[in-house]
Chains A and B, each alone.
Chain A
Amino acid sequence: MKVQYQPNPPYILSTFILFFIIHSIQVGIGIQGFQRLIFFEAKQDAWISVVLAGLFTHIVVMVMIKTLQLYGPTDIYGLHTEVYGKWIGKIVNSLYILYCLWIFLIVLINYIEVMQTWVFPNVPTWIFSISILLLVLYGVTGGLRVIVGACFFSIILSVWMLGFIGFPLRFADFHHLLPVMESSIISILKGTHKMTLTVIGFEILYVVYPFLKEREKVTKFAHLGIAGTNLLYLIVILISITYFSPGQLENTIWPTLSLFKIVKLPFIERTEYVAVSYWLLIILPNLMLYLWAAVRGVRRTFEKQRKGLIWIFSFAIFIGSLFLNSRSKINQFNDLFDSMAFYITFCYPFILFILALIKKKMTSLKEK
């Protein structure tokens, strides 16, 4: 397999769309309930954890872009083959593909759980699972351009939700934020670690990179996308800390959705039902991008155009979603993923960068 990849001109995307890709894939299932987990660790200083997590993300993305730039237009699958060689590269690529599918499953089951708790307690998992999977399949078979379109519209069409900030602000008590820095640095950092599941998603840059038109602008839009997400998370955590009292926040599983509970409009009484259902639009691009990244990984690694592959993946995820159907199982699965994802998305890019750098140096020495 070739390390570099140059897509055909019709498949190339404008670079500014990277902002939408990164922002929409980061914001998804995590934002519904991340406040509580961080609050457990860092108490009223949770917002500092969120800021730190955001800064850390910027650093990781910087390293990711540096790595990708080493080998011209390539993606992570090409990088792996280059760095590890043909066979080990294939194994690592397969692991990465599994990782993408894993996130897919996490997002899917968490969303189904929210739907079942809030709106449809009696509808079985398989109906949700199949309906969402069919939608995702529809998008992914349309190719990257369709998926990116979904990212764009998912953001544009859900901006209205931000307008509801005013309702909880009415009840906000800013005393909850004081005294600042009462928690120790360790617990704040622990809170930052808990942000993993919420901020991940930006690693899709590893796969999308070769499709972008002007690569010198990638840095700008990638960082803009992340900054947008960080700002959103900061706003949400600040509102949650001031709106809920400490004990209340610790007892609420999905604080963000609970914030919608007090929104009352003249034409709609209970906005959270709309918000919960509408969330499908927010997670849809996540699901599409991950499935696409997995399928793309297979195509790049094994260089075969398996037509039924996407169906096999979807079926596997469907089966997986059937087994994960209770709060405790999902929690366990999330925790397991959380500990893995931290190393894969936050630590691994540094290792890959160093390895790629060494490899590059070695090859240039050989040529001399």
Chain B
Amino acid sequence: MKKGCFWFWTFSFLLLCGCAQPRILEEVGLITTYGLDIAKDGSILGTMVELMIDPTSPQDVVILETEAFSIRGIRNNANKKSSKRLSSGQLRVMIYGEDLLKQGNTGIAQTLTNDPSISDMTYLAMADGTARNILHVKAKHIPDIGIHLFRLIDQNTKEKMMPSATLQEVLHNHYSVGREPILPILKKEGKEGIGFSGVGLFKGSKLVGKISADQSFYLNLIIDKFKGGNKDIEIKSSKLKPRNRQLDKTAASIDSIVSSSDIKLINKEKVEFDINIKLNARLLEITSEIDLGNPENIKLIEKEITKSMTKEIEKLITYCQTKDSDIFGLGETYRSSVRHSKLTDEKWYKMFKEANVNVNLDFSVNRTGLNE
């Protein structure tokens, strides 16, 4: 009896654990997307996409807008406007307005990791213009803007069209010496479309430059590995006659790209790097009257493509050097190959500007599809 009594009290006590705050799905407003901009008075203007789980409501998504001085403040203020308690456990995408990022030193991404309810795999992106504009896009084919943006980024990141910028990766690059973070740029296209338009380059946490979506392919070539992917390459060469007489250039479309890259420091004193990129692909289309059955011609095409890619990559690197934004992680390579370098960000910015970078690209065509 005594023992039974003891266990009775013990287990009834354990029921007290139910005192933890319950989170019933129907009573919670899930925030799937945040958009952050600068408000007129300098505070943060937050736009949130709230997903409501309510079978009776005709609309699943509510867009809330508030101003506050902190990110948490935005959510707390938005709570006042919402019939359901907002929670950010399902946050998938964060979009920053351009002006906010130009300010720099906002520390926004850092505060996000303090909150255990926000996943490190949240995608970060930058808006061309304001984030508010993008989240307010209304179109028939987009019933839920939050999920739409998430799928758009997710799909393109996995296909390597966009550089991957999850919270973990951005913070990782932000906190490492000799590597700067990047964010994909989303742009409102027309009235109803949203598209990937480029990549924002950072120095510390300040936006310093942009590259186009086309160049982001070359960026990915250096910092990532391809296993499948496709790309149109423009070739300007006298040896290839374009089919389209109006244009003076030929386009080659390659896919099933397999690439690997390797950065090496070859000179410590006069900082000099070798970037070796190996690239295999299938040549599917070329807008030129050329006989692909001839191995000589394939060699020619390989050479021309290599030339134009190398040129593009060199252009990209020079651009980044003028912007002080080492997005390739050259500094990281320098730090890890030079003993007692005691590299700091300030030191690296100076060295990066003067660094010599040689690009060695090795491109080869695997096959040309069904026809020769």
Contacts and interface: CB of A to CB of B under 8 A. Distances in A.
Interface of A: 117-120, 122-123, 127, 130-131, 134, 171, 173, 175-179, 182, 244-248, 251-252, 258, 261-262, 264, 269-270, 272
Contacts of A245: 171-176, 179
Given A182-B339, A245-B172, A272-B116, A122 B121 contact: no
B172 A264 contact: no
B173 A134 contact: no
B225 to A, nearest CB: 11
B336 A178 contact: yes
Interface-centre pick from B10, B120, B333, B337 (highest chain A CB count, 10 A): B120
A42 to B, nearest CB: 15
Contacts of A117: 116
Contacts of A171: 168-169, 172
Given A131-B17, A179-B339, A246 B177 contact: yes
B5 to A, nearest CB: 14
Nearest to A44: B336
B178 to A, nearest CB: 10
Nearest to A114: B116
A134 B339 contact: no
Contacts of B228: none
Given A117-B116, A127-B17, A127-B19, A179 B172 contact: no
22 contacts: A117-B116, A118-B116, A120-B20, A123-B19, A123-B20, A127-B17, A134-B10, A134-B14, A171-B172, A173-B172, A178-B337, A179-B337, A179-B339, A245-B171, A245-B176, A246-B177, A247-B174, A247-B175, A247-B177, A251-B110, A261-B121, A272-B116
B340 interface: yes
B274 interface: no
Contacts of A120: 20-21
Contacts of A176: 336
B332 A175 contact: yes
A114 to B, nearest CB: 10
A258 B119 CA distance: 10
Contact of A262 (B13, B14, B20, B121): B121
Given A118-B116, A122-B20, A262-B120, A247 B340 contact: no
Given A130-B13, A182-B340, A246 B175 contact: yes
Interface-centre pick from B116, B119, B166, B174 (highest chain A CB count, 10 A): B116
A175 B339 contact: no
A256 B80 CA distance: 36
Interface string B171-209: 111111101000000000000000000000000000000
Interface string B1-44: 00000000010011011011100000000000000000000000
B73 interface: no
Contacts of B120: 258, 261-262
Contacts of B89: 270
B104 to A, nearest CB: 17
A100 B114 CA distance: 34
A175 B176 CA distance: 11
Given A120-B20, A122-B20, A246-B175, 14 more contacts: A119-B116, A123-B20, A127-B17, A131-B17, A134-B13, A134-B14, A171-B168, A175-B329, A179-B336, A245-B173, A245-B176, A248-B176, A261-B121, A272-B116
Contact of A244 (B172, B179, B329): B172
Nearest to A167: B121
A264 B121 contact: yes
Contact of A127 (B16, B113, B329, B337): B16
A115 to B, nearest CB: 10
Pairs of residues from A and B, 3 with the lowest C-beta to C-beta distance, nearest first: A247-B175, A245-B176, A178-B336
B142 interface: no
A262 B332 CA distance: 23
Interface in B130-177: 166, 168-169, 171-177
Contacts of B340: 182
Contacts of A248: 171-172, 175-176
Contacts of A247: 174-177
Nearest to B120: A261
B338 interface: yes
B92 to A, nearest CB: 10
Contacts of B119: 261-262, 264, 269-270
A272 B115 CA distance: 13
A334 B156 CA distance: 46
Contact of B175 (A118, A134, A251, A258): A251
A261 B119 CA distance: 6
A178 to B, nearest CB: 4
Contacts of A244: 172, 175
B71 to A, nearest CB: 17
Contacts of B171: 245, 248
Interface-centre pick from B110, B171, B338 (highest chain A CB count, 10 A): B171
Interface in B40-94: 89-90
Contacts of B121: 261-262, 264
A245 B174 CA distance: 9
A247 B177 CA distance: 9
A117 B110 CA distance: 17
Contacts of B13: 130-131, 134
